[in-house]
């Protein structure tokens, strides 16, 4: 049960429910219902009652604090006829926290946080003042948690954890995930091909594994989920599916713990002792930023030129003026010369050249908004390709940068080590 007017009005997105859903599912506790209500006592009561009838465990987030709109604790205590009593230990913790904050004593308004429904268990909050509260009622175990996401997570992973472990059904196995990252293929095509290859598996192999397609502007992640007493057991269930789709995803897959293709590129460059340089026009340094966001990137990144004006393309990177005049700045030959030029200028093994129309203006019939030429130069050999990307200016730039990194990744994977 998520409590808060701001959730109903759309000012705050209910990330607590999403986080709790993942956390509980991972622990083998299945989540069957969710409610969102405002800061209204009778609505909180209604939702908690419904939830308690439908399940054995009710998690309530929000409205635990000291302000007058924080009604959760009083409402729930009243529902189950539990008087609120001051918990000395919680009061002591409040005193310590407030004095650390420079207060002589706990403000009267904040003292209410030490009041706990009789017979309930206090769940220590290492990140804030309002502790979590666990109470066992006839219908269900009810857990009250603060709305502040960091506090909620700290309590769930800390003081609440042993209670959750004890509650999960005796034979419940955890859910484990394996994620395959892809880029360069649209969700609909990937889904079609992946589903077709998995359809050939026997049902008793296919059925126990859940498959989710998680797209964003950079690509599509495939998330496989299976139950298992251990990670190995779950991965053994997932393995036949990975085998079945191997050929289909191989041209698009990349290996990265963070899910960021820049990590995958950095890893492969480092493994070969290679350095990269970038010449970016329409991406304006996005690729250089993504690479240098990662600590230790100086081994693998020489530098970059934001070659926005034609003058910089010509004077700094050796792009031929007459090629720009004949073919335009957004052209195959310019992408080629940018990639080769920046690799030579910065003495790098790998060069990237990107030139395109990010929009919203500047498009033409021949080169509409989203047209991007990309060049990659690996140990002196240049390859180019034409991308056509959709979306607004930001999305086009993000997609073009990703495509350039993907091209480098494939080429570097094939380059010999050393």
The residues that touch ligand ATP, with contacts defined as CB under 6 A, are: 2, 4, 6-7, 12, 14-17, 61-65, 70, 128, 130, 146-149
151 near Mg ion (CB under 5 A): no
**Minimum distance, C-beta of residue 167 to ligand ATP, in the bound complex (Å):** 22
**Minimum distance, C-beta of residue 135 to Mg ion, in the bound complex (Å):** 20
CA-to-CA dists, residue 297 to 182, 290, 378, angstroms: 23, 10, 18
Return all residues near 211 (Cβ < 8 A) that are at least 6 apart: 194, 198, 222, 223, 224, 225, 241
Q: Which residue is nearest to ligand ATP (CB)?
A: 65
Nearer to ligand ATP, 65 or 387 (CB): 65
For Mg ion, the binding residues in 296-315 under the rule CB under 5 A are none
**Nearest Cα to 351, choosing from 398, 408, 298?**
408
219 near Mg ion (CB under 5 A): no
User: Tokens 């079945």 map to which residue?
Assistant: 244
Residue 6 contact among ligand ATP, Mg ion, none, beta carbon within 5 to 8 Å by kind? ligand ATP
**Minimum distance, C-beta of residue 131 to ligand ATP, in the bound complex (Å):** 10
Candidates 4, 65, 184, 370; binder of Mg ion (CB under 5 A) is 65
**What angle, rounded to 10 degrees, do the helices at 72-79 and 41-54 form?**
60
Which of the stretches 57-65, 107-115, 282-290, 316-324 binds Mg ion when contact is defined by CB under 5 A? 57-65
Q: Which residue is nearest to Mg ion (CB)?
A: 65
Nearer to ligand ATP, 73 or 399 (CB): 73
Candidates 43, 70, 151, 263; binder of Mg ion (CB under 5 A) is 70
146 near Mg ion (CB under 5 A): no
Q: Which two tokens stand for residue 85?
A: 């009593």
**Minimum distance, C-beta of residue 359 to Mg ion, in the bound complex (Å):** 43
Residue 130 contact among Mg ion, ligand ATP, none, beta carbon within 5 to 8 Å by kind? ligand ATP
Nearer to ligand ATP, 16 or 384 (CB): 16
| Residues 77, 135: Cα–Cα separation, whole Å | 9
| Residues 2, 47: Cα–Cα separation, whole Å | 9
Task: Evaluate whether 390 touches 381 at the Cβ level (below 8 Å).
Answer: no
Beta bridge partners of 354: 280, 374
Nearer to Mg ion, 65 or 359 (CB): 65
**Minimum distance, C-beta of residue 97 to ligand ATP, in the bound complex (Å):** 12
Nearer to ligand ATP, 22 or 231 (CB): 22
DSSP line for 354-373: EEE--SSS---SSS-TTEEE
How does DSSP classify residue 274? -
Q: Which two tokens stand for residue 263?
A: 């990590």
Q: Where are the beta strands (DSSP E) in 53-202?
A: 57-61, 84-86, 115-117, 121-123, 132-136, 141-145, 174-182
Dihedral over Cα of 311, 392, 182, 216: its sign: positive
Q: Which residues of this protein are in contact with Mg ion, per CB under 5 A?
A: 65, 70
């Amino acid at each position: 049960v998520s409590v808060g007017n701001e959730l109903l009005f759309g000012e705050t997105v209910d990330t607590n429910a999403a986080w709790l859903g993942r956390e509980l599912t991972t622990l083998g506790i299945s989540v069957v219902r969710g409610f969102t209500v405002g800061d209204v006592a009778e609505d909180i009561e209604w939702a908690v009652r419904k939830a308690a009838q439908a399940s054995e465990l009710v998690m309530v987030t929000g409205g635990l604090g000291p302000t007058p709109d924080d009604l959760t604790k009083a409402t729930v205590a009243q529902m189950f006829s539990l008087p609120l009593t001051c918990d000395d230990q919680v009061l002591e913790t409040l005193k310590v926290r407030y004095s650390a904050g420079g207060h002589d004593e706990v403000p009267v308004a904040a003292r209410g946080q030490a009041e706990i429904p009789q017979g309930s268990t206090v769940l220590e909050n290492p990140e804030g003042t309002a502790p979590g509260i666990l109470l066992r009622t006839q219908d269900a175990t009810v857990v009250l948690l603060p709305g502040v996401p960091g506090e909620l997570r700290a309590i769930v992973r800390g003081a609440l954890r042993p209670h959750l472990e004890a509650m999960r059904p005796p034979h419940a196995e955890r859910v484990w995930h394996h994620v395959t990252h892809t880029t360069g293929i649209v969700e609909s095509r990937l889904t079609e091909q992946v589903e077709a290859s998995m359809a050939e598996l026997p049902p008793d192999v296919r059925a126990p594994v859940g498959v989710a397609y998680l797209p964003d502007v950079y690509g599509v992640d495939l998330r496989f989920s299976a139950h298992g007493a251990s990670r190995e057991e779950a991965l053994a269930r997932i393995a036949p599916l990975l085998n079945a789709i191997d050929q289909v995803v191989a041209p698009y897959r990349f290996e990265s713990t963070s899910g960021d293709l820049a990590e995958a590129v950095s890893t492969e460059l480092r493994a070969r002792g290679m350095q990269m340089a970038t010449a970016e026009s329409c991406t304006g340094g996005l690729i250089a930023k993504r690479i240098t966001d990662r600590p230790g990137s100086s081994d693998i990144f020489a530098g970059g030129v934001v070659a926005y004006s034609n003058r910089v393309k010509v004077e700094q990177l050796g792009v031929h003026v007459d090629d720009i005049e004949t073919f335009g700045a957004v052209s195959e030959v310019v992408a080629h010369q940018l990639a080769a030029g920046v690799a030579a200028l910065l003495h790098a093994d790998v060069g990237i050249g990107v030139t395109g129309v990010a929009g919203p203006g500047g498009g033409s019939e021949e080169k509409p908004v989203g047209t991007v030429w990309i060049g990659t130069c690996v140990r002196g050999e240049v390859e180019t390709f034409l991308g056509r990307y959709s979306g607004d200016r930001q999305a086009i730039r993000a997609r073009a940068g990703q495509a350039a990194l993907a091209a480098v990744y494939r080429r570097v994977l094939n380059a010999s080590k050393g």
